[in-house]
């Protein structure tokens, strides 16, 4: 899997806390570590770090970013 984005950071979630109570595709229970999520975004706690890229969206501005997920046989 390739993830291409113009955002400066990425959040990774590994499903550590899945407990089998959620039902996924094919009626399979989602158990611990059965999935992952990659979420491009700005850095957490951004407003408190002046050296991080700004997240301020000023009046009249447009929020526009690109995220491309490429899943292929490598």
What pTM was computed for the model? 0.73
Return the beta strands (E) in 23-66 as ranges.
37-41
Assign 74 a pLDDT band (cuts: 50, 70, 90): low
23 touches 30 (CB < 8 A): yes
Q: How many CB atoms lie within 10 A of CB 34?
A: 14
Report the C-alpha gap between 57 and 72 in whole angstroms: 35
Taking only the tens place, the pLDDT of each residue in 1-33 is: 899 999 999 999 888 989 999 998 899 999 998
- Per domain, the residue ranges of the chain are 1-74
């Amino acid at each position: 899997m390739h993830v291409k984005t113009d955002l400066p950071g990425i959040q990774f979630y590994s499903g550590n806390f899945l407990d089998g109570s959620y039902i996924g595709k094919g009626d399979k229970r989602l158990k611990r570590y059965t999935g992952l999520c990659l979420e491009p975004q700005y850095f957490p706690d951004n407003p408190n770090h002046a050296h991080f890229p700004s997240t301020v969206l000023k009046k009249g501005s447009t929020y526009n970013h690109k995220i491309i997920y490429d899943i292929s046989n490598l």
